[in-house]
Chains A and B, each alone.
Chain A
Amino acid sequence: MTQSSCDALHFFRGGGMMEVCGSSTVSLREFGCEQSLLSRPDGSASFTQGDTSVLAGVYGPAEVKVSKEIYDRATLEVLVQPKVGLPSVRERLQEQCVRETCEASLLLSLHPRSSLTLILQVLHDDGSLLSCFLNAACMALMDAGLPMSCLFCAVTCAIDTDGQITTDPTAAQEKESRALMTFAIDSTERKVLMSSTKGSFSVSELQQCIAVSQKASEKIFQFYRDSVRRRYSKIL
């Protein structure tokens, strides 16, 4: 990959990380994405949100094991590799979230009886890991050129003890928070594809967080667009 290093794109927004809910701007950390940085997989992407960084690789469509074959669509397998040690039960739940979200946006019925494998390697975890997984997965699937019905992005929101909502929290902010929610939003209708929460919260807090995430998703989709445009403007 010769041009890979200059593909990386960063964008900055706002001074502080903290964000009061209801205001018109939503602050996210510095985002970065680089596609096709690995030569072996059919599609790959690295995604960074502040210090959180994930590397994703997609293999497929390829031959599928008979035991996992589905007659009318492709079998998607997601593997999450932690930074150190072996994947445990926690990673299994994250895998399930990523897999089912990808399944909803991919047009799997175009590749019946074949396998797709998505591998997510944690490079560094500094909060909002699940949202970074999903964003990296979407970019990698896009890079692999797999047919999708829509794109998706994910946003993590943390509610602190004062009831303030912080989007894209760092690990320290996550620890201080009372509740933590991650939503995946689709690009066509801006509806919730995936939801995973921790801690207890009220219904109105949930609705606020969804609204904030939908707002933040605009920015992430814009980032996707800029990132892809930047990349192809060089190739073409």
Chain B
Amino acid sequence: MAAGFKTAEPLEYHRSFLRENCRPDGRELSEFRTTTLNIGSISTADGSALVKIGNTTVICGIKAELANPTVEAPGKGYIVPNVDLPPLCSSRFRPGPPGEQAQAASQFVADVIESSELIQTEDLCIERGKLCWVLYCDLMCLDYDGNLLDACIMALLSALKNTQLPEVTINTETGSPEVNFKKRHELRIHKHPVATSFCIFDESILIVDPTSDEESLVTAQLTVVTDDEGRLCSVYKPGGTSVSGEKLQQCINQATARQREIQKLINKVISSVKTAQ
């Protein structure tokens, strides 16, 4: 009976739960799904992390390569984030080049990296004007059940914290670089941005960490990214119904609390990985 109701009248189905201040999966309106983190599971990548928020799974693998810096910014390296939504993660995505949602997510991640100054691209410079690192950060969704952006930002941050770059010296005689894979060092992570997504249901009810079913029914979505100092790195609301200042403040407060929790989780997993080595 319930399954039939859900399929035939999805909006009414969700409303009947929200009237009782709860959601179909048993959560309260401002409750997050269980978030798990696994770091360094891909040995072919220079850094990797797997994030699960409820069913949503995103894996981030970082590959470092060497390149010439641009003429405009000779002392800077590159960070190239790309989000991929392969047909594997949900039946709504088609094979082929990234669709609109994947492209928008890639640009969002790139903007967050730039806005938060998570990594200073100057740190990726090896020799000014000659050689620098390129960090290819590939984010792949393996199971799409809503709230992609939160999972992506978290996977990216954890993978960058896990990344170990080999030492590079420039041979003074030949001028060519020499890479010593034995000696590796960590990246300097300056900020810890964490994204928190919200949805507005029926133009008034605010819910947090939406599932894909919820995402398809809501009237507006909102993502707030905050860093360790409580500063905002992004308040992204791509349209939808309007939000009042009061609601926005509520979102920001929740995002700040979430940032602390996630940063604690990441640090805990990172230190457990280190002690295991």
Contacts and interface: CB of A to CB of B under 8 A. Distances in A.
Check A-B contact in the complex, CB < 8 A.
Answer: yes
Interface of A: 89-90, 92-93, 95-104, 179, 181, 184, 186, 189, 191-203, 206-207, 210
B217 interface: no
Give the interface centre of A97, A186, A200 by most chain B CB atoms within 10 Å.
A200
B201 to A, nearest CB: 14
14 contacts: A89-B104, A92-B100, A92-B104, A92-B107, A96-B100, A100-B238, A101-B238, A192-B237, A195-B235, A195-B236, A196-B236, A197-B236, A200-B115, A200-B231
A122 to B, nearest CB: 17
Nearest to A181: B235
A206 B242 contact: no
Contact of B232 (A192, A197, A210): A197
Given A192-B248, A202-B232, A210-B245, A97 B107 contact: no
B107 A90 contact: yes
Q: From DSSP, what is the main secondary structure of chain B's interface residues?
A: mixed
A199 B111 CA distance: 8
Given A200-B231, A201-B232, A100 B244 contact: no
For the complex of A and B, list the 7 residue pairs with the smallest distance between their C-beta atoms, beginning with the closest. Answer: A100-B239, A191-B242, A101-B239, A92-B103, A93-B107, A195-B237, A100-B238
Contact of A194 (B106, B232, B239): B239
B117 A200 contact: yes
A34 B115 CA distance: 35
Given A197-B232, A200-B116, A207-B245, A96 B111 contact: no
B234 interface: yes
Interface of B: 100, 103-104, 106-108, 110-111, 114-117, 219-220, 222, 227, 230-245, 248-249, 252
Given A92-B100, A198-B114, A193 B239 contact: yes
A39 to B, nearest CB: 30
Contacts of B240: 100-101, 103-104, 193-194
Nearest to A202: B231
B227 A192 contact: no
Contacts of B234: 197-198
A60 B220 CA distance: 24
A137 B176 CA distance: 53
A199 B115 contact: yes
Given A92-B100, A200-B227, A200-B233, A99 B239 contact: yes
Given A100-B240, A195-B237, A198-B115, A89 B107 contact: yes
Contacts of A96: 100, 104, 238-239
Given A100-B238, A199-B233, 19 more contacts: A89-B107, A90-B107, A92-B104, A93-B111, A97-B238, A100-B240, A102-B239, A104-B219, A104-B241, A192-B237, A193-B237, A193-B240, A193-B242, A198-B115, A200-B231, A202-B232, A203-B230, A203-B252, A206-B248
A99 B101 CA distance: 13
A85 B237 CA distance: 27
A190 to B, nearest CB: 9
A140 to B, nearest CB: 16
Nearest to B249: A203
Given A92-B103, A193-B239, A198 B111 contact: yes
Nearest to B103: A92
A196 B238 contact: yes
Given A89-B106, A89-B107, A202-B231, A194 B100 contact: no
B1 to A, nearest CB: 24
Contacts of A203: 230, 232, 249, 252
Contacts of A196: 236-238
B104 A93 contact: yes
Nearest to A77: B100
A206 B232 contact: yes
Contacts of A210: 245, 248
Contacts of B235: 181, 195, 197, 206
Contacts of A201: 231-232
A13 B233 CA distance: 32
B244 A191 contact: yes
A234 to B, nearest CB: 33
